[in-house]
Amino acid sequence: MEGSTSMKQQNGKVKTKNDFRYGNYRNYYFKRLGAGIDQPDLRIELMKQYSECFKDKQVLDIGFLGIDIDGNLIDAARKNLQRQKADFSLPENEILSLNKVIFRKANYILTDRSLIELEKPQYDVILCLSVTKWIHLNYGDDGIKFLFKRIFKQLKHNGVLVLESQPFNGYKKRSKLSLEILQNYKSIELKPEQFEAYLLSDEIGFADSWCMTDSEILKSSNLAKGFHRPLQVFVKR
């Protein structure tokens, strides 16, 4: 089953469903924003309202900006950054901020899980937006627990995790991407609806949580159907 379904020709190579097994779609923002593709991303607009949380802070974004498991997306992000830096109309402070952005191809779920013991607090903010479903499907409950434990260890005192998780009912559609993913899907016990309680439990240790979005904001947004997901903030004390 793995890699058997051809999707489309890209750079002369046939792409298979399995090539997008991490949610590493090339046209993700067309899908996500639909007709509103020219409008700003609601999540960025919301985070701008809390700009004091980000200004002069160490921020890690798991999945696309920052680190991503897909090297092609990292190349695209680097090119985009170079284009922006070459825009002479940008104010100097924005260019200075862009100079601090680094992209790296990396799998956040380490093969050697014991290395988590070496993690030190280093970030003020970690963004984990629309990534949990892919980590859950590819690495099961063990993987999702590792994700949350590593995030907690990497956050400094008073650091925050901004989490946009996907609901479980959206997992099924992607569960047949490979036999391994199907097995992981079937064995899932820790459902996304339980993430909040899990993150606040002693097993992880976040002190409190709050939500940046409410259902009214989401309803009135330009987001395509299926992307009306809350942005939750978890604080480490």
Ligand X SMILES: C[S@@+](CC[C@H](N)C(=O)[O-])C[C@H]1O[C@@H](n2cnc3c(N)ncnc32)[C@H](O)[C@@H]1O
Using rule CB under 6 A, residue 227 touches ligand X:
no
Q: Which of 4, 133, 151 has its CA nearest to residue 66? A: 151
* Out of 42, 126, 129, 181, the residue judged to bind ligand X by CB under 6 A: 129
Using rule CB under 6 A, residue 148 touches ligand X:
no
Q: Terminal CA-to-CA distance of the chain, rounded, Å?
A: 46
> Minimum Å distance from CB 65 to ligand X?
7
Using rule CB under 6 A, residue 107 touches ligand X:
yes
* Out of 33, 59, 125, 135, the residue judged to bind ligand X by CB under 6 A: 135
Residue with tokens 């093969």: 111
C-alpha span between 98 and 95 (Å, rounded): 5
* Out of 109, 188, 200, 218, the residue judged to bind ligand X by CB under 6 A: 109
> Minimum Å distance from CB 70 to ligand X?
4
Which whole-number Å values give the CA distances from 145 to 94, 178, 191, 231, in the listed order?
36, 22, 11, 19
Residue among 166 and 199 whose Cβ is closer to ligand X: 166
Q: Are strands 59-62 and 123-129 parallel, antiparallel or unpaired?
A: parallel
List the x/- string, 157-196, binding to ligand X by CB under 6 A: ----------------------------------------
Using rule CB under 6 A, residue 22 touches ligand X:
yes
User: What is the total residue count of the chain?
Assistant: 237
C-alpha span between 66 and 23 (Å, rounded): 16
Using rule CB under 6 A, residue 19 touches ligand X:
no
C-alpha span between 52 and 202 (Å, rounded): 28
List the x/- string, 55-94, binding to ligand X by CB under 6 A: -------xxx--xxxx--x---------------------
Name the strands in the sheet holding 123-129, side by side, starting at the edge strand that comes first in the sequence.
104-105, 67-68, 59-62, 123-129, 155-164, 232-235, 208-211
Question: In this chain, which residue has its C-beta nearest to ligand X?
Answer: 63
List residues near ligand X by CB under 6 A.
22-24, 28, 62-64, 67-70, 73, 107-109, 129-131, 134-135
